[in-house]
Structure 1
């Protein structure tokens, strides 16, 4: 298995950050296998969604609706509503596994691999790519 950790700057507010090109660079020329993407954080996730047409903003809006950043959460350290950030991985898993065919991630036409981070308290995140040859 080959593995690599990259650092992604997410800034100080909720964001959906497309990391498809970084994943593609990681598997380029590796043949067939499986790409596993993992975010080793308690307050971030990985989503396979369309970006650039509003779906990324729609995802954040949906998460705000389901997980509002208010004072209802028992987990209270950090910024107001930070407890919801710790619930996020139950809705947006911190991992995704994708097929790799001929050294290319086999995504659908409009799909992208995205880091989802609602926690503005941590402006940088790590993402681990792992490749299992087939």
Structure 2
């Protein structure tokens, strides 16, 4: 079985937003069993990452480090959308736009301190689209024997 759904995520400026629970809720709602969840962000100035979700200082330090690697400024040729746009594109190249996460018994197999994040690289809020694609088995229904899918 497989499902595809697009999440609409409202971001804050220059931020990391944990969407792990939202992704998990969608897996549960669709009756996912075992398989693989692929998350894909449909933008060139925002990213996805799997990162620590226990200490918010990690997120702040990562955002600061990305700003040092690709600072905003007037020295880029591409500046039509503002001084933070080209640095956002560079940060997206350095990070990821697509991630694959194993799913076992309907649960994301993230580590104890891991979360799935949308990273907003721009200096203003945006609505970002994250496509979720699950491919795998259906969760067994209570009281019924588990039979693997032939899909």
Alignment of 1:112-131 (within 5 A): 112-121=115-124, 123-131=126-134
TM score, norm. by length of structure 2: 0.83
RMSD: 1.3
Which residue does 1:33 correspond to in 2? 35
The structure with more radius of gyration: 2
Alignment gaps of 5+ in structure 1: none
Measured against aligned partners, the alpha-carbon deviations of 1:82-118 in whole angstroms (never above 9, x if no partner) come to 2111112211111100000000000000000000111
Which residue does 2:15 correspond to in 1? 15
TM score, norm. by length of structure 1: 0.93
Q: For the residues of structure 2 that align with 1:81 and 1:129, how far apart are their CA atoms?
A: 27
* Contact 1:73 1:81 survives alignment (8 Å): no
- Off by >6 Å, runs of 4+ in structure 1: none
Alignment gaps of 5+ in structure 2: 138-151
Deviation at 1:120, TM superposition (A): 3.0
Count of matched residue pairs: 133
